Amino acid sequence: MRAVLNFAIKYQALILIAVLWQVFYLLKLFPEKLFPSLFTIGASFIELASSMELWENIFVTLQRVLMGFFLAAIVGIVIGILMSRSNFIDNVMQPIFTAGYPIPRVALYPIVVLLFGLGSTSKVIIIFLECLFPIVVNTYYGAQRVNKLHIWSGQNMGANDRQLFWRVFIPGTMPAIFTGFRIALPIAVVIAVLTEMISSNNGIGYLLTYLSASLAQSKVLAAIIAISMFGYILDRILLAIRNKFVYW
């Protein structure tokens, strides 16, 4: 009973949305074809989840998301740390990230498609560019905020520059780095789905477009739920990794 209560408290917002959705359906405020009941959506979700089509497309999207995200994580951490430790690199890169942050990188997708084609490469590049900015910015400011007392304490204990970097500076920056990761990962999912909806013959975004074209609204909503669960599971995995290795 306590577990059920804790679950209800934790996910009360989602439960409220579900209840309101069903109330709107019962009141017939919208056409049933566009606003099906939760039971109809649930049946469509079970049907969709029992087919290999959903899982094959999710696996394709997962590959693109992880490739773009990990590439952005590696490059973003390096750039962010270099910017925090070198005034020259900071002066060179800061205008790029300040001016480029408001620009939707997905606007570059047509150019990237012309250069790399309609396959996964162009989608991974756009995911990489979208994820890069939050990771760089959070790494940069996280590195800037490393407690000076910790660095001075390490120096007083005789730590050399290499030891200070790996044992003080990097651990002090890791919470901010993971904040950048948690911002970037759902962006990666959004961009993967969006680019697949624009031009692809596989992936969860393609499946969503296909279902929309077939006017199967309950299946469209079921696919949206699948995408939401997909992003949520990725976030929970990332959070578990953070709690395991950045426990402080």
- Token pair recorded at residue 81: 């740390």
Query: 195 and 133 share a domain?
Result: yes
Is residue 133 located within the same domain as residue 191?
yes
In this structure, are 20 and 139 located in the same domain? no
Same domain, 56 and 175: yes
Q: What is the dihedral of CA 12, 17, 21, 24, to 10 degrees?
A: 100
User: Mean pLDDT, consecutive 10-residue segments, the chain of 248 residues?
Assistant: 74 83 81 82 88 90 96 95 90 87 86 89 95 94 83 76 81 92 95 92 90 83 91 94 88
Contacts of 204 (CB under 8 A, 6+ apart): 54, 57, 58, 60, 61, 192, 193, 196, 223, 226, 227, 230
Q: How many domains does the chain have?
A: 2
118 and 8 part of one domain: no
Q: 1 lies in which domain range?
A: 1-30
Question: What is the predicted pLDDT for the residue at 181?
Answer: 96
Distance CA 165, CA 162 (A): 5
Answer yes or no: do 175 and 239 share one domain: yes
Identify the pLDDT of residue 148.
76
Contact between 184 and 131 (Cβ < 8 Å)? yes
Q: Does residue 11 share a domain with residue 87?
A: no
Contact indicator for 195, 129 with CB cutoff of 8 Å: no
The reply to whether 69 and 10 lie within a common domain is: no
In CATH, what number is assigned to the domain containing residue 229?
1.10.3720.10
Three-state DSSP string of 106-147: HHHHHHHHHHHCCCHHHHHHHHHHHHHHHHHHHHHHHHHCCC
Is residue 132 located within the same domain as residue 17?
no
User: Same structural domain for residues 129 and 232?
Assistant: yes
Same domain, 88 and 173: yes
Are 15 and 47 part of one and the same domain?
A: no
- pLDDT at site 229: 92
